[in-house]
Amino acid sequence: MAEKSTKKPNKRTGRRPKFEYKEIRKFESFEAFEGWWKAEGSEGLERDHSYRNSEGEEVEYFRCSSRGCGFRAKVVYSAYEPTVSYHTIDVPHNPDAHVATAKLTNALKRRVKELFDEEFQPKKIRETLLEETEDPSKVPSINQIHMICKRLKTEAAKPTLITLEDLEIINHIAENSKEPADENAVFVVGSTPYKRHGDFCIVWSTKSLIKIQSESEFLAINGVPHLTWQSHVMLFAGTYVGNVFRPVYLALVSRIHKNPISELFKILAAKQSSPLKFVQSDISPAITECCQEVFPEARRLHDVREVSKDVEAKVNKSAESVEHIEAIRRDIATLGFALTDEQFSNASAKAVDRWRELGVAEPVLDHFTTSWLSSPNCYWYQGASPFPVTCEALESEFHAIKRVHSLREKMKFEFFNKWLQKTIQVDWIEEKDAISTEIPQPLYSEAYSLSLYGRSITGIEGTDEYLMPSESAGKIKIEERLIDSLYSSTYKTFEDYAKTRFQVYHLRKTGPKTFSCTCKFGSMKKPCKHAVYLACSLQLDSYPEVDAAPGRGVEVIRVEPR
């Protein structure tokens, strides 16, 4: 018979502690409970989690928002009766409680290190410090000691000798930092001293690509933490040439932190011959801070999807606001199509008023107002820049790389360098130069459908500007008031803005057969079916393989040019 093992089983991790709850109040209806909950029950509480028990009851758990208070409560919604019961644990509720932590002086850190070197465990270290100190409040908490010991263990595990790969990277930087004669040869644009376990930044590009970026007033930069090499983060930066996004810089940084990101921005700024007016990136605090420091005059553009995601995260922490999350998401998307600064300012204020009427919690409204409606983070609407404010172009570059290689393997620097050369010289130069700027074929089909329905077009006298009713507006008479309402900055309600913003489209001529448009696609600086339909109606372009397309002529009205 096999010997019985004396090894203790592993403890389960991540399991929530059990508490003894006692019923405090019971409400005969949900309305009675909701009135009490909003008036006094939810004060100082935040939602923890919820589940449905075996009896079909919905149970919501709450905890005190203060770290120093251990109060917990739960609300049980009956499955078969319209009753709600409120339960708490036997701990006083003190929302003003706080956890006092000792100040970690250098002398205290040295003493903890001495005890750590003697192989004392965190609990024993704290007991020793309590014996040595007269004032217990000056002794670090057990969590503080755990963090110090973790850092000491990490530092002890760091290699003290330089590896062959480290030497290869250092030699690569030294040998490739000089600008080559070939404009398409990849070289190190700038770098900081390479440290495997410290902060560093390395930037690659070519002279031909740098010239494109240096003459542009727009810069898009972004990094995906999951797109890494040897655990170091990769970032891409570039600009637009027409409607085509051109990646220019590939950077490798130790982490998304102020130190390496600041050096990266300084390297990019040194290559700019024209001042940057627009910088687009994600909502990383490090990138935001460094952008303001290095490019103080540039507008910091944000993707409206990141705004929506951030506000949704705040809404999910507020039980009373979760039911309105779809309306909030829809309104933020609509705000993202504002055409002017004044229009956005007024419409966003009306959106906040609308959410308040719906019952959205004040903390959510305050977060949205302070975080996304004031400079420098308020530029996430399409009218904030003549360039796209979304990060779709950068994201497409990330996806193109991930389809071929994830760059998360233990790849040697020799192979990483070959991949880098191929990406910049082939994918970024040869293939991007070959991209056609012609209008995509599907747009002609969609525009031809508009001609079949005879969508009306109205020209503004003395200009190359035109008006077209939207699909939702149907057959409406085009008047001067419609174009005024399109760019209006005063609305009585948010619904007025949402209705008038897409009631009529304003098209302007931008090239021999191209037009800008205020529809959703046109606002994102993309070619749209309305622009193609207008060009074909004016006989500046023609539908492929179509002899004659039915449609209406262009009616001209007298409107004061904008």
547 confidence band (pLDDT: 50, 70, 90): very low
Higher pLDDT: 101 or 412? It is 412
Q: Give the DSSP H/E element, type plus range, for residue 41.
A: none
242: left (phi over 0), alpha (psi -120 to 50) or beta: left
- Residues belonging to the chain: 562
Mean pLDDT within 343-347: 90
Mean pLDDT within 4-11: 46
Q: Is the pLDDT of residue 2 over 80?
A: no
**DSSP per-residue letters across 194-243:** --TTS--EEEEE-HHHHHHHHT-SEEEEEEEEEEEETTEEEEEEEEEETT
* Site of tokens 């329905």: 453
Rg of the chain on CA atoms, in Å = 31
Mean pLDDT within 166-187: 90
- List the one residue out of 220, 169, 190 whose CA is nearest residue 411: 169
The second-level CATH assignment, the architecture, of 164-302+390-433 is: 2-Layer Sandwich (3.30)
Dist. CA 365–CA 350, nearest whole Å:
12
Q: What pLDDT shows up at residue 106?
A: 76
pLDDT tens digits along 145-173: 888 888 888 877 765 566 777 888 889 99
Mean pLDDT within 452-456: 81
Most confident of 62-76, 196-210, 320-334, 446-460: 196-210
Mean pLDDT within 282-308: 85
Crossing angle of helices 122-132 and 106-117, in 10° steps, is 130
Q: Is the pLDDT of residue 118 over 90?
A: no
**DSSP per-residue letters across 379-403:** B-SGGG-SS--S-HHHHHHHHHHHH
Strands 201-205 and 187-191: antiparallel
Q: What pLDDT shows up at residue 491?
A: 82
Lowest mean pLDDT among 185-194, 478-487, 496-505: 478-487
Strands 72-77 and 84-88: antiparallel
Q: What pLDDT shows up at residue 474?
A: 64
Mean pLDDT within 320-345: 87
- List the one residue out of 447, 451, 455 whose CA is nearest residue 478: 455
Mean pLDDT within 69-92: 88
Q: What pLDDT shows up at residue 95?
A: 77
* Site of tokens 């465990």: 121
Higher pLDDT: 268 or 257? It is 268
CA 165 to chain centre: 34
Higher pLDDT: 231 or 122? It is 122
The answer to whether the CB of 199 falls within 8 A of the CB of 255 is: yes
Q: Say which residues have a Cβ less than 8 Å from residue 35's Cβ, sequence separation at least 6.
A: none
The answer to whether the CB of 425 falls within 8 A of the CB of 186 is: yes
> Considering the chain, what is the average pLDDT of its residues?
82
Q: Is the pLDDT of residue 5 over 50?
A: no
Dist. CA 42–CA 46, nearest whole Å:
8
Higher pLDDT: 492 or 16? It is 492
Q: What is the DSSP letter of 245?
A: E
Q: What pLDDT shows up at residue 160?
A: 56
Q: What pLDDT shows up at residue 352?
A: 92
Q: How far is CA 96 from CA 309, 328, 439, in A?
A: 30, 31, 62
1 confidence band (pLDDT: 50, 70, 90): very low
Q: Is the pLDDT of residue 397 over 60?
A: yes
Dist. CA 497–CA 345, nearest whole Å:
12
